[in-house]
């Protein structure tokens, strides 16, 4: 039973890592295609994080 859970967890982590890699690639591509919009989005995200209460 525990082996099955470990396999499922491993598969989930692999899918998540793949998803995050693809997300990073998409962000880089967007920055290359629309640098001004990407910079503005980055600034907005930084402001959001600065004003966010933990």
Residue 3 has a pLDDT of 67
For residues 37 and 24, give the distance between their C-alpha atoms in angstroms, rounded to a whole number: 16
Residue 20 has a pLDDT of 95
For residues 53 and 12, give the distance between their C-alpha atoms in angstroms, rounded to a whole number: 30
What pTM did the predictor assign?
0.54
Residue-wise pLDDT tens digits, 1-54 = 556 788 899 999 999 999 999 999 998 888 888 878 888 988 999 999 888 776
- What is the chain written as a DSSP string? -HHHHHHHHHHHHHHHHHHHHHHHHHHHHHHHH-HHHHHHHHHHHHHHHHH---
Is the CB of residue 23 less than 8 Å from the CB of residue 31?
no
């Amino acid at each position: 039973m525990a082996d099955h859970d470990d396999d499922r967890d491993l598969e989930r982590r692999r899918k998540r890592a793949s998803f995050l890699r693809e997300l990073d690639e998409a962000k880089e591509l967007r920055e290359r295609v629309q640098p001004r919009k990407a910079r503005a989005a980055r600034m907005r995200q930084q402001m959001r994080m600065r004003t966010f209460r933990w």
